[in-house]
Structure 1
Amino acid sequence: MKLYSDFAVQRARQVTADIIALALIALSVVTGIAVFSAVDQLAQFGRQLQTTGVDFRTSMTDAGTRLGGVPFIGEGISSPFTTASSAGDTLAAVGQTQQDLVRQAAIALGVGVAALPILIVLLVWIIPRLRFVSRATRTRALMRAGLTTDLLALRALTHQKVGAVTKVDPDAVSAWRRGDPVVLQRLAGLELKSVGIRAR
């Protein structure tokens, strides 16, 4: 697999783009985590509400249990406290629900803030990089298998921009048909340079 160009300038651009892309991805992840943490702090109110509800239920249950032990009137006195303890359960449930909603919102916002820039970076960076790696690796394998200058020149005629081809020769197709060695060599070099391979 060929990851980088043989040409210093092109290779420097590729390395720089890779570093910038990886730095932007890392920054997006850190920002997403920061947003998640900031939003998740809002769940503190729910945690306090849940703790208050549990404490209230425990207090009412304990009071009802103590008063229930009073002879003759204990059962009647403890009943309101037992009923009141269910309000603590309701309060604790509301607190838990609030925490769950905040956690879901924190996850959604954190992932959204991180994912959008990462997706943009990947579309702008990874697709051209993968295309380069694929073409360079395939061309190098073909050269090892005996790809000729003539075929490389033909690839240049079909793959390269018209402006680049006409700089080699205004009538490059005719030059290729008659097998002009200078034009063939320059076209082959043009094709190889586009895939980051230095002609040997």
Structure 2
Amino acid sequence: MKFYSDFAAHRSRQITVDVLAVAFMAAWIWLGAFVYSLVLGLSDFGVQMEEAGAGFRETMTDVGENLGDVPFIGGGISAPFDSASSAGATLESAGQAQQDAVQNLATGLGVGIAVLPVLMILVFWLVPRLRFARRAGQAKALVSGGAGVDLLALRALSNQRLPVLAGVDADPMGAWRRGDPEVMRSLAALELRSTGVRLT
């Protein structure tokens, strides 16, 4: 495969577009990571809630267990603390659920912001670049393999637009049939130029 044109102006445009495409993709990826970390910061409240709930649950459980050891009345006194311990567990679960929700939101936003634009850039930049590289590689292989100028000229007759062909000769097909060497070389050069390969 041949990734860049032999012609300076075309090659400069290709390199400029490549650099811009990579820079834009990097910028979108950075923005996605920034939004992810920004949204993930909202989970701090959930962490605090979970820690407060866990601490409250442990304290109430310890108090309930200590009071439960009191003879005769321990079971009755520990019951409210056991209920309070359950409330702490609920608060702890709510804190964990809030963290999970924020994590999912941060991941969704971060990936959405980064991936969708990068996919669009790949579709509109990478696909045409790969198509160019494939065509240029095939054309270079034709030239390197000693393919005749007449074959390249025939490809030009089938691939190039009519106004472009008319600029080479008033009757390019007739010139090709006659084997006109100047027209054949011009058509071959035209076909190769469109693929970014210079006729040597």
The interval holding the TM-score normalised by the smaller chain is: over 0.9
Bigger CA drift: 187-196 or 63-72? 63-72
Q: Share of identical aligned residues, percent? A: 52
Structure 2: how far apart are the matches of 1:169 and 1:119?
43
Count of residue pairs brought into register by the alignment? 200
How far the C-alpha of 1:118 sits from its partner, in A, is 0.9
Give the structure 1 partner of residue 91 of structure 2.
Answer: 91
Offset, 1:163? 2.1
Q: Shift in Å at residue 15 of structure 1?
A: 0.8
Give, in whole Å, the separation in 1 of the partners of 2:170 and 2:121: 39
Quote the Cα distance in structure 2 between the aligned partners of 1:32 and 1:77: 54
> TM-score, normalization: structure 1?
0.95
Matched, 1:18 2:49: no
Range 161-170 or range 144-153, more displaced: 161-170
Asked whether 1:176 is paired with 2:142, we answer no
State how far apart, in whole Å, the 2-side matches of 1:63 and 1:123 are: 64
- Structure 1: any 5+ residue segments left out of the alignment? none
AA of the residue aligned to 1:38: L
The residue correspondences of 1:135-154 to structure 2 (distance < 5 A) are 135-154=135-154
Deviations 1:134-156 (A, max 9, x none): 00111112222221100000111
Mapped to 2, the partners of 1:92 and 1:79 lie a distance apart of 20
Q: Distance in 2 between matches of 1:122 and 1:170?
A: 41
Residue 43 of structure 1: how far off its partner (Å) = 1.4
Structure 1 position 171, deviation (Å): 1.7
Q: How far apart in 2 are the matches of 1:54 and 1:199?
A: 77
Unmatched runs of 5 consecutive residues or more in structure 2? none
Q: Which amino acid aligns with 1:199?
A: L
* Aligned pairs (5 A) from 1:14-163: 14-163=14-163
Q: C-alpha separation between the residues in 1 aligned to 2:147 and 2:82? A: 89
How far apart are 1:83 and its partner, in Å?
2.1
Q: 2:112, 2:162 → 1: CA distance?
A: 42
How far apart, in 2, do the equivalents of 1:116 and 1:75 lie?
61
Question: 1:159 Cα deviation (Å)?
Answer: 1.3
Query: Aligned to 1:196, what secondary structure does the other structure show?
Result: coil
